[in-house]
Chain A
Amino acid sequence: MKHYEVEILDAKTKDKLCFLDKVEPNATIGEIKSMFHKSHPQWYPARQSIRLDPKGKSLKDEDVLQYLPVGTTATFYFRDLGAQISWVTVFLTEYAGPLLIYLMFYFRVPFIYASKYDFTTSKHWVVHLACMCHSFHYVKRLLETLFVHRFSHGTMPLRNIFKNCTYYWGFAAWMAYYINHPLYTPPIYGEQQIRLALIVFLFCQIGNFSIHIALRNLRPPGSKTRKIPYPTKNPFTWIFLLVSCPNYTYELGSWLGFTLMTQCLPVAAFTLVGFIQMTVWAKGKHRSYLKEFRDYPTLRSPILPFIL
């Protein structure tokens, strides 16, 4: 068996960082990353980006050496992705925050409102309902992170956790402050408005969960395969006929429901910002579906049927 020689150069300075000889032809990039890690212990595999071209795309961990367009002395370029943190850790942290923060405002913990309101409860039943919905939403997210989602990337850059937590925790505090405020004004159209909002919210929570389950079932455990999602027996997944990322569609619906329920401008702002971000993500996903699959259904839109 003919062995390969692998040299790894810095993508920016072109310095020779590592030379590996007697590399098996069927070695994967993942294995090469582990070998590189041995000579440079500060660069664990998750923060290595290995490419064929200094400015090119990163190679995947699964790529096999002998099937790459390289000679028997393969030259790879290395870029440091910076400190990495696992997706699971980020999700758990950014979702646990809003859950706990909202409850602090709900129970009117001292130093938030005037001291005569400490540990009192709101006289409006919609405030109790809103707390249950908000808490349910984040508990659902935490459980999905632990038991449902199958991530294609293990890690993301460390600085993301600060950015993401600021966003989620900040907005949660801003919303919770007003909903649980002693001077909160309940919705104008009273019970009708709250009932409709609750139906929308619950419908979209079930829908969002259904989509997450459907996406999970597309992917065998431990794999990173990508397939086109299709409607299943569950009616909540039939929206796949019209939309590429119905999980975002349902998420938007949930927050619209919550906005209607609480009639609170900060909630509307959070819904709007979330919608903008999810639209960006949905368009990206839709584009990569179209690129990867020739037979991708043409009726589908990224996030809003026929509109966006």
Chain B
Amino acid sequence: MASGEEDRTVEEKETNNKKRTKGAIATAWLTFYNIAMTAGWLVLAVVMVRYYLQKGTHKGLYKNIARTLKFSQTFALLEVGHCAIGIVRTSVIVTGVQVCSRIFMVWFITNSIRQIQNEESVILFVVVWTITEITRYSFYTFNLLNHLPYFIKWARYNMFIVMYPLGVIGELLTIHAALPYVRRSGMYSLRLPNKYNVSFDYYYFLIIVMLSYIPLFPQLYFHMLRQRRRVLHGEIVVEKDE
């Protein structure tokens, strides 16, 4: 072999090695991340169950879980980064929208409007999120370890049928309950006149958010139903969001 060709194969081998190492690091990090998130949401589930068994009511529960909920849900921002750098093959925009809507519920509704923190609707969507996220993150974890038990796959592609609408109901009821307090306090709002010549009314913004569920929810729901049909009843499909 001429020395030129030898150099090329050595270079190719080096690039392939680099790719393999990068792939291994990415897999290791993602496995750690998904295990950590599964654990975080499991902790949340345990705290909620224990509280209800001890106190028999959901009043005051939010204060107990607030920190863990904020931490776990905010950490999910990393998932947008995973898509952006390409170690997870999902659209950045889709993941971004999903994570942002969760962050919005946690930080800009439940955390900042104290008066609604003991509403039943809050417990409803937190329970739904907990079940969904434990299923989802353990699905990803097992997938990465190449050892996917069928019941996890079944759970991920069937529970959403009930969980998703329940979660939406919880979120909408919570926003609706918050409206009178937002209006009265004028929070997060900017009135005229001001030097930026712009105004923002959080109350009307929340109403628009609620209305936007009408077109968005069916689209996402049917997308998931289609994915379910393909995965459970069809050809072998590479799961896109690992």
Chain A positions near chain B (C-beta within 8 angstroms): 178-179, 181, 183-185, 188, 262-266
B195's partner among A179, A181, A188, A266 (CB-CB below 8 A) is: A188
Distance of A188 Cα from B193 Cα, bound (Å): 13
B199's partner among A178, A179, A188, A263 (CB-CB below 8 A) is: A178
> By the criterion CB–CB under 8 Å, are B197 and A262 in contact?
yes
> By the criterion CB–CB under 8 Å, are B195 and A183 in contact?
no
Distance of A123 Cα from B197 Cα, bound (Å): 16
Contacts of B198 in A (CB 8 A): 178, 264-266
Contacts of A188 in B (CB 8 A): 195
Contacts of A266 in B (CB 8 A): 197-198
Contacts of A183 in B (CB 8 A): 192-193
15 contacts between A and B (CB under 8 A): A178-B192, A178-B199, A181-B197, A183-B192, A183-B193, A184-B193, A185-B197, A262-B197, A264-B196, A264-B197, A264-B198, A265-B196, A265-B197, A266-B197, A266-B198
Asked if B3 lies at the interface with its beta carbon under 8 angstroms from chain A, I say no
Asked if B194 lies at the interface with its beta carbon under 8 angstroms from chain A, I say yes
Contacts of B193 in A (CB 8 A): 183-185
User: Which residues 158-209 in B have Cβ within 8 Å of A in the complex?
Assistant: 192-199
- List 12 extra interface pairs beyond A181-B197, A263-B196, CB under 8 A: A179-B197, A181-B192, A184-B197, A185-B193, A185-B195, A185-B197, A262-B197, A263-B197, A264-B198, A265-B197, A266-B197, A266-B198
Distance of A185 Cα from B192 Cα, bound (Å): 9
Nearest CB of A to B199, in Å: 7
Grouping DSSP codes into helix (H, G, I), strand (E, B) and loop, the A interface class, with mixed when no group exceeds half, is loop
Contacts of B199 in A (CB 8 A): 178
Give the B interface residue count (CB, 8 A).
8
Distance of A268 Cα from B21 Cα, bound (Å): 45
Nearest CB of B to A260, in Å: 13
Chain B positions near chain A (C-beta within 8 angstroms): 192-199
> By the criterion CB–CB under 8 Å, are A263 and B195 in contact?
yes
Measured CB to CB, the nearest residue on chain B to A262 is B197
Contacts of B197 in A (CB 8 A): 178-179, 181, 184-185, 262-266
Contacts of A181 in B (CB 8 A): 192, 197
Measured CB to CB, the nearest residue on chain B to A264 is B197
Nearest CB of A to B7, in Å: 30
Distance of A266 Cα from B196 Cα, bound (Å): 9
- Residue from A179, A264, A265, A266 with most neighbouring chain B CB atoms (10 Å): A265
Nearest CB of A to B172, in Å: 26
Distance of A58 Cα from B196 Cα, bound (Å): 48
Distance of A262 Cα from B198 Cα, bound (Å): 11
Contacts of A184 in B (CB 8 A): 193, 197
- Residue from B192, B193, B194, B197 with most neighbouring chain A CB atoms (10 Å): B197
Distance of A178 Cα from B193 Cα, bound (Å): 10
Contacts of B194 in A (CB 8 A): 185
Contacts of B192 in A (CB 8 A): 178, 181, 183
Distance of A262 Cα from B196 Cα, bound (Å): 9
Nearest CB of B to A179, in Å: 7
Distance of A241 Cα from B99 Cα, bound (Å): 45
Measured CB to CB, the nearest residue on chain B to A174 is B198
Nearest CB of B to A231, in Å: 39
Distance of A185 Cα from B198 Cα, bound (Å): 10
Distance of A262 Cα from B193 Cα, bound (Å): 14
Distance of A180 Cα from B199 Cα, bound (Å): 13
Nearest CB of B to A124, in Å: 11
Nearest CB of B to A90, in Å: 24
Distance of A266 Cα from B199 Cα, bound (Å): 10
- Residue from B195, B196, B198, B199 with most neighbouring chain A CB atoms (10 Å): B198
Nearest CB of A to B12, in Å: 28
Contacts of A263 in B (CB 8 A): 195-197
Distance of A265 Cα from B197 Cα, bound (Å): 6
Nearest CB of B to A156, in Å: 23
Nearest CB of A to B200, in Å: 10
Nearest CB of B to A105, in Å: 13
Distance of A105 Cα from B26 Cα, bound (Å): 55
Distance of A181 Cα from B197 Cα, bound (Å): 9
Distance of A213 Cα from B199 Cα, bound (Å): 40
Measured CB to CB, the nearest residue on chain A to B194 is A185
Nearest CB of A to B196, in Å: 4
Distance of A263 Cα from B196 Cα, bound (Å): 6
Measured CB to CB, the nearest residue on chain A to B196 is A265
Contacts of A264 in B (CB 8 A): 196-198
Distance of A155 Cα from B170 Cα, bound (Å): 47
Contacts of B196 in A (CB 8 A): 263-265
